[in-house]
Structures are given as structure tokens and as C-alpha cells.
Structure 1
Amino acid sequence: MGSKPHRKLPALEIGQYDGGSGHAPSVQDVHVQLRDARSSRLMHARRMRATQLKGLGRLLVEGEQELLDALASDLGKPPVEAHLTEIDIVKHEVDFALLHLSEWMEAHHARVPMMLQPASAKTEPQPKGAALVIGAWNYPVQVLLGPLVGALAAGNVVALKPSELAPATSAVIARLVPRYLDPRAVRVVEGGAGVAAELLELEWDHICFTGSERVGRIVAEAAARHLTPVTLELGGKSPAVVLDGNLHAAARRIAHGKALNAGQTCTAPDYVLAVGQGMEKLPEVIHRAFVRFFGRDASTSRDYGRIVNRKAFDRLVGFIEDAEIDRSVTVIGGRHDAETLYIEPTVLVGVDPASPIMQEEIFGPLLPILRVESLDEAMQFINARPSPLAAYLFSERPRPHSAFEQQVRAGAIAFNVCNLHAGMSTLPFGGVGASGMGNYHGRFGFDTFSQLRPVFSKTALVDTLKIAYPPYRKGKTRVVRSVNLGSASKQKLEVNPGDKPGM
């Protein structure tokens, strides 16, 4: 963000809620205030958008230690991991948006058919208006403030709903946001499911939600009542297929992707499909990678996180206990401690595809490994299940890469690495089918929170449209139809035979 001292915002732009009285406004009050700001076009000017983005950047720098402490309290998140996967990702989003903001806001001229001249046409991105961003507990900074970057860049006012399951982080964000961002433009609403339900009863111009598929359906249903567009980031069982190449490197990358945030990552490899012969060593090689990262007792490692709460802990331990009862399953690891919410990185070999652990997203440091005979079988296995947020293939050969890209349906495809695509401002982050809809990051976030509005202009000084007015006699009909055909004739061959005509 540079080393120069930052200009302070005017008092109104940096003041506390209710003038610093400390009394949080009601959900209804926040909604009314934001819609008033939308109506006043508060965020339409580039300067205002840039000011808010810079304020968010300062929040991340000056509030860094508070955020790190909160993330450690909520998730046992190590400082380096918190920097890389939470704070630094949002900082980069801010810098990227500031660098490209003028370019993104530009109008683009569109061609006008000759028969409609003289005229001009353009498309211009407009703010959707008042947006609601509902965050998740597993990355309570990144998935709340990341979408905020796109919403602010696009000129929206925003209500932020942090996850109540990460209470320390929620409290820090609620305290910091009104210090650095104009409270007319961005409001934080804390609370549990009841507060979220209140927010969803209200009319918004866009809703961005990160969380489970179950709650995603509730959000989508609520939004549908107001015909509100939604972005849903929902996760799913992201598979990693190991086909060939450097087995030890593959094991390290899968282990790293799985252990990040103690497995509580929506793009983490949820299970592994080991293809063909020669993969017997893979489970032990992955286990050794875990040991290399965190030592033989990961509970003593300063680089390994914890499970968010006792409910999630008990669910994961239940999977381990089920596997230990099943004599056909080999459990490598599995130690846990309820008092500290610690679960050891654990490899499960020989899991039944119909078992409970394979029916829902694991969201923890448990890694089932299943053996399949071929890449085709692996792809059939993946496609027979709900579409995941990501799918990973470990292979050095281009032909399997091509087949995997063409045949696997997932929110993202990555080769020989896990998770990294989700932190790039130059790639869209989003799911498909059960793993979500819509996307954000970089320009894609700006587009998500914008309406691409067409503008058409034609002079009335000379009325060249007389030829199009009724009555339509034979000669005029022929001319009018030629105007319509003339505007589309060059594109006629590009229309797919199955396309239906629009409105």
C-alpha cells in the first residue's frame, strides 16, 4: 500500500456507528440507511470507491495483529497461515482493484448496424446497489472481506454479516470496519441464524453467501422472493486423482492442501482416487508428508490448526470411530483431544464408497484413499456425485489433462496442485451445480456486483426511422425486414441450431 502517510477521512466517513454511541442499529435501520445511500449514489464516483478500498487496505495493515489474534482464538490458526490464506489474499485483492479500477469502470462502445445510423451505442457497468455479504467461519476474514472488495470497486453499499461461529473475528471486524470505512457505505451486522434470517427477509440488490449447501438453498429461496441475484460458494467433496508423475511431490501437495486450516477448507482435497497398480505406497507416503510438516505429534506443532467447535469435532471423531470399527479400513493416525479440539491428520484406506464419510463434505483433516483401475473409472466416480468446487489430477501427461478437463464437471480444475487457484485475482472463484453459482475475485468480483447496462442514442433531428412506422405496405415491409436481417446477417452462421429466440 506504500509507505506514505495516509490521509485521514472526514469525520463522517470514519465515525463510529450512531456517532460513536456504541449502540448497534437494528437490522431494519441498517437496511434503510444503506438503501438511502444507494439512492443518493454515494458510491458511484471513482474517488469514493478508491477511498473505501484504501480504507480497507489500511484496516488490514493497521488491524493486522487484532485479526491474527482473533483467528488464533477462533480456529487456532497459525500466524503464517493466517497471513497467507486470509489477510494477504484480501490485501492483494485491494491492490489489484485499485490498480485496475479506472479500466474496469470504463464504458465500451458497441457497433451499430448501418441501417440504424446515425446512432451510437455503448455498455457501461453500473453498481447493482445495496449488497449483502454473508461470510463463513472457516476463513472468516477472507470470505467476508474478499467479496467486499469487488462490491466496493463496483460502487455498491454493503451490509457485512460475519459468521457467529468465529466470534472473536466477528467482533474485531465489527470494531474495525467503521473506523476505516464510511459507515454510510459499509455496515457490519453481527449475530446468529436469527439475524441472518432477518437480513434475508429484506430486499437486496445482490447477495453473496459462503457456507454449506443446506444453508445455500435457504439463501437462494429467500433471494428468489425478491428476485435478487445471488452468488453462492458452497464447497463439496473435491477429489484428487493420482495417476502418475512424482509420487512424493503429489503426496506432499495433497497433504498440504488437506492440512491447511486443519482440513476446514472448501477447496481442500476431500478424498483421493489412486489409479492402477503401483499406488500401494501412496497412503504411507502421504502420512509421512504429514509427519514431515507437523512432526510425529501434530498437537505440538505451532503450524497446525484446530477444529472450530465441539460439534464439528464430534462429527469428525465419529468418522474415525466408524472406520476403526470396520476391519476392512486401515486408519493411519486418528489421535484426537476433545479439550483442545485437536484431530491428527489421518489417512483412511479401504473406505466403502457408500459409507457416511463419503456421502458428505468431510471438512476436517481426514483423508480417505480409494483405489480405482483407470482414469476413466475415476472420472465416472466423480461425475456420479454432486459437482465439487474443485477437482485435482496429478499427472504429467497432456492427454490425461485434456480428458480430465473435458469430462469432469467441477467449479475449477487444477493439475498437480491443490487450493492455489482459489487465491488468484486473475481467476474466477466459484462453483457449479451443488458447489455453488457465480464467482468473484479481481475483475470477476467487479462484474458480479455490477449491472452491465446498454445505452443506445439516436438523434431525432432527422427522423431516419420513418421507414419503420406503420402502415406496412408491401414495399415498406420488404425494407423493414431487410433492416432486421441486415443487423444480424453477419452473425447468422454463429447461431447454434438449438438456440431458442429470446424476448
Structure 2
Amino acid sequence: MTENIQDLLRRQRDFFASGTPYSVPFRKRQLQILADAVMQHETDVTEALREDFAKPPFETFLTEIGFLMAEIRHTIKHVDRWASPRNVPGTLTLLGAKGTIMPEPLGLTLILAPWNYPFQLALAPLIGAISAGNCAVLKPSELTPHTSAVIARICQEAFPEEYIAVVEGGVEVSTSLLAEPFDLIFFTGSTQVGKIVAEAAAKHLTPVVLELGGKSPAVVHSDAKLELAAKRIVWGKYLNAGQTCVAPDYLLVQRGVKDRLLHELKRQIEALYGDVIADSRHYPSLINDRHFGRLSSYLTDGTICHGGRTDPARRLIEPTLLTGTGWDAPVMQEEIFGPILPVLEYDDLEEVIRQVNAREKPLALYLFTESRDVQHRVFERISFGGGCINDTVMHLSSPYLPFGGVGPSGTGAYHGKYSFDAFSHQKGVLKQTTLFDLNTRYGKGEEALKRLKRLFR
């Protein structure tokens, strides 16, 4: 296997050295080829996700295919400008010189994709790699084998292997890939595995983009519009059965409105999902038995005030609200990544800020309030990757916002131009005039030093 991977990378380096991927018209053609291939295989993608974990067609199109197509269209529209050299202002000390930033491809890139949105989170980074002029090796998740096979088929039909290649397999394949000297590694997954990726990359000083996770809070202040807040929290939490890196992981609600909010949350769960144990056509399964078992153990970490029923045969846990949970409970010790929402109370906003800041920086934060003062206090004093005011999850849908974590929740960002930047090197070039030469830098002695100091002042 190692020899096959090394042979593939040699061929990719030769193809990259030919200069073909550098051409912006070439990049745009490849992006259009990718878009056409995705739409051609839309039915295959939908069926593969259904087979892997019963993902409903509506969610598949919304979160996997539609999102991807919008990203490709946006990139094709703007990549000419992103790839163009741009001039920067001069300074008095560089009189006559011209500074330029030239975006250039990094070279050979490795994309390690997760299982929770296995199609979109594999191909969305690939858009960045192609738009920036790179070659890429894509490793889909082995936990979603049907989707992995469709991804491999799409890329094999659309691209030569020396340009874009898909390598399927398990942990041993990922380990072999990580041993090679890529020019960038883009990883989406858990913080624990992210540390392994970063350690392997460090051996070659390979830069990394790590899209990780964490316990993302949703905060509902007393002045929030509770019905709308509940509707948006329920949608963001239970989308993909909670298997979303930016899903609200736990809920902090001001004590005076807790009962009213719980009533609205129950009502919205019933309206959106009904009885998923009896009819799960619109609700995905959990990815595997191990994940089901881990999540099921959390159901005893508080009082179930809604949901809580399970179906082990189909790996289903219905949308669940958990009250009476403490900060030290097991469910509050790691990212839940499933359809269980612990609901905690607070009295004062300072308590929210203190409790969230006492833990690792989350990937997302969602704040529901009509108060600009509350918004300012929370967003100024709590560090997190990105988030929303009066909504959940939707910040990642904007190609104009960077999507990524901070600290344990990730490093680097992508989407839109940020994907292009993530897969590019910004090369700074200074072109000096030959019409004249300032002698200040060539001086020596006290008088020359005085002139130099005056210049810099």
C-alpha cells in the first residue's frame, strides 16, 4: 500500500510541476466538471447516504448536494479575482518600490473527510484545493462505505488520478497517507484525531487546517422570542440526528423563562419530527452501534423531560431534552454529537460567560436575545469559532464568512474565498525601481545614523 501511495504522489508531483493546475481557466473548467459530475450522480449520492445511515432525501439535498453546488457556483464566479496579484501600499522608506501579493498553489494536498456529512465535507475542501491550483488526494470516511464508493466513482470519472485521486480504506490507509510529505493537510473530525494528524504533519512541517468540534452552547436570554428560538434550536440540534459538529451541544436558559422555553421546544420537536420511533423516514440513524451505545448511556445523566426512547435495531434515539443535569455529569464532559440536548439554567449573564470560558473554546456559540448590550457582552468576552445571534448553524452557509474553530475546536478556516486562501500561499514580492537609488541604507557613522533615525521617525 505504501508503495502505491508513493507512486501516486510521484505522479501528482510530476503533474503539478507541469504547471497545468496553475492556469485559472483550467481550475474553472475542473470546478464545472465537478459540478456536472455531482448533479449527474445526485440519485447515487442520495441512495448511498440512505444506505449508510438512513439519511432522508430532503436533508441530503439541503446539507450535502445543494450546499456543495452553491459553493462551486460562488467559487467559479469569483476565482479570477481571488487568484489575481494585488498591489499593496508603499511606504516612504521604500520610495519608488512596488509591493505585490501573489497567491500561489501549495502543491500536493491531502483531504481527510469525516462520516457525519460524508459527501459535502469531502468535496467542499476539494473546491478550495482545485480553485487554488493544487493537486489533491481525498480520503473519505470508511464508516460510510457507500458514500465513499460514490465519491471515488465521481472523481475517477471526472479527473485523472495524477490530478485528483480518491484513496479508500480504514485507519491503516490514513496512517500511510499521513506518513507522506504533503504540502497541506485538511482534516475534519474529532479533536482527539486532530491531535494525531497535527503530530504526523509536524514531522514534515506540513501546514494543517483542522476542522474539529467541541461543546457548542446555545444561550437563551429572558428577552428572546421564545417560540422562534425554540424552532431554530430544535432544527439546528436534531438535524442529521444531532451528528453535526456545529449543533447546539447544550442549552443555557435564563431561569425565569426555562419552563416556557421547554414547552416551546417540546412543541417544535413534535411539529418537526413527530414519532420517529414509529416513522423514521425523515430522521437519520446513528452511524454505528458504538456511537449508539455511547449516546444511550447519557440518557441517565439527568431527567428526561421529552423523548428518550430508543430503537437499538435501527440505531435510533428520538429527539431528547434532558434537565437536572450538572456541569460534572458525563454528558457534559465531551461533545455529545447526537440527539440529546441537556438544558441548564442561569440567573445572571456573568454566570454564562464564566461557565463557558471555564471550558475549551467551542466551535460555535448561539445567542438568543433582543438586547444589543447582551450581544456585545457575550461576543466580546467569549472566544469561539463562529456562531449566530437568534439562529443556529446557518453561519456556515455564508461563503462570505470564515468557518473554522479556535484552539481545541480547530485551526484555520474555509468556505468561499477562505477556502481559496486555506489552500494558497500568499507570496509577497517587492519590485524596486532602477530609476534612482536612495543612499540612506548604505550609510555608516554617526551622521548616517542620525539621517536614518529621522527617516524612520
Contact 2:108 2:134 in 1 (8 A): yes
Q: How does 1:218-297 map to 2 (within 5 A)?
A: 218-243=196-221, 244-297=223-276
Contact 2:249 2:341 in 1 (8 A): yes
Tell me whether 164-173 or 269-278 shows the greater mean CA deviation: 269-278
Query: Residue 72 in 1 paired to residue 50 in 2?
Result: yes
TM-score relative to the length of structure 1: 0.87
1:299 & 1:452 partners in 2: Cα distance?
A: 54
Query: Which stretches in structure 1 are left out of the alignment for 5+ residues?
Result: 1-22, 490-503
1:160 & 1:192 partners in 2: Cα distance?
A: 13
Match of residue 188 from structure 2? 210
Tell me whether 329-338 or 113-122 shows the greater mean CA deviation: 113-122
Query: Residue 314 in 1 paired to residue 293 in 2?
Result: yes
TM-score relative to the length of structure 2: 0.96
Contact 1:123 1:453 in 2 (8 A): yes
1:405 is paired with a residue whose SS is: helix
**Identity over the aligned pairs, expressed in percent?**
40
Deviations 1:199-236 (A, max 9, x none): 11111111110000000000111111111111111111
1:258 & 1:467 partners in 2: Cα distance?
A: 63
Larger radius of gyration: 1
Deviations 1:315-366 (A, max 9, x none): 111111x23xx6xx23421111111111111111111210110000001001
Q: How many residues are aligned here? A: 456
Correspondent of 2:377 among 393, 403, 406: 403
Runs of 4+ aligned structure 1 residues displaced above 6 Å come to none
Contact 1:132 1:207 in 2 (8 A): yes
2:136 is paired with a residue whose SS is: strand
Correspondent of 2:348 among 374, 390, 394: 374
Match of residue 174 from structure 1? 152
Alignment CA distance shift 1:70-1:481 (3 Å): same
Contact 2:277 2:311 in 1 (8 A): no
Match of residue 308 from structure 2? 334
2:183 & 2:240 partners in 1: Cα distance?
A: 33
Match of residue 130 from structure 1? 108
2:306 & 2:363 partners in 1: Cα distance?
A: 27
Contact 1:276 1:374 in 2 (8 A): no
Contact 2:219 2:367 in 1 (8 A): yes
Query: Residue 44 in 1 paired to residue 22 in 2?
Result: yes
Contact 1:52 1:182 in 2 (8 A): no
1:51 is paired with a residue whose SS is: helix
The one-letter amino acid paired with 2:73 is D
Correspondent of 1:186 among 135, 151, 164: 164
1:160 & 1:331 partners in 2: Cα distance?
A: 43
Match of residue 355 from structure 1? 329
Match of residue 447 from structure 2? 475
Contact 1:27 1:195 in 2 (8 A): no
The one-letter amino acid paired with 1:252 is K
1:43 is paired with a residue whose SS is: helix
Contact 2:285 2:316 in 1 (8 A): yes
Alignment CA distance shift 1:116-1:237 (3 Å): closer
Contact 1:57 1:91 in 2 (8 A): yes
The one-letter amino acid paired with 1:129 is G
Contact 2:404 2:410 in 1 (8 A): yes
1:241 & 1:408 partners in 2: Cα distance?
A: 12
Tell me whether 290-299 or 101-110 shows the greater mean CA deviation: 290-299
Query: Which stretches in structure 2 are left out of the alignment for 5+ residues?
Result: none
Deviations 1:441-490 (A, max 9, x none): 00111111111111112245x561555336x133333334445x1xxx5x
Q: CA RMSD in A?
A: 1.8
Contact 1:291 1:298 in 2 (8 A): no
1:208 is paired with a residue whose SS is: strand
Tell me whether 26-35 or 295-304 shows the greater mean CA deviation: 295-304
Contact 2:240 2:284 in 1 (8 A): yes
Correspondent of 1:464 among 437, 451, 454: 437
1:453 & 1:407 partners in 2: Cα distance?
A: 34
Query: Residue 107 in 1 paired to residue 85 in 2?
Result: yes
Match of residue 58 from structure 1? 36
2:37 & 2:2 partners in 1: Cα distance?
A: 20
1:285 is paired with a residue whose SS is: helix
- Using the TM superposition, give the Cα deviation of residue 116 of structure 1 relative to its aligned residue in structure 2, in angstroms: 3.4
1:139 is paired with a residue whose SS is: coil
Contact 2:31 2:131 in 1 (8 A): yes
1:67 is paired with a residue whose SS is: helix
Contact 2:304 2:320 in 1 (8 A): no
2:232 & 2:94 partners in 1: Cα distance?
A: 58
- Using the TM superposition, give the Cα deviation of residue 93 of structure 1 relative to its aligned residue in structure 2, in angstroms: 0.8
1:340 & 1:372 partners in 2: Cα distance?
A: 37
2:259 is paired with a residue whose SS is: coil
The one-letter amino acid paired with 1:215 is V
1:330 & 1:344 partners in 2: Cα distance?
A: 12
1:450 & 1:191 partners in 2: Cα distance?
A: 28
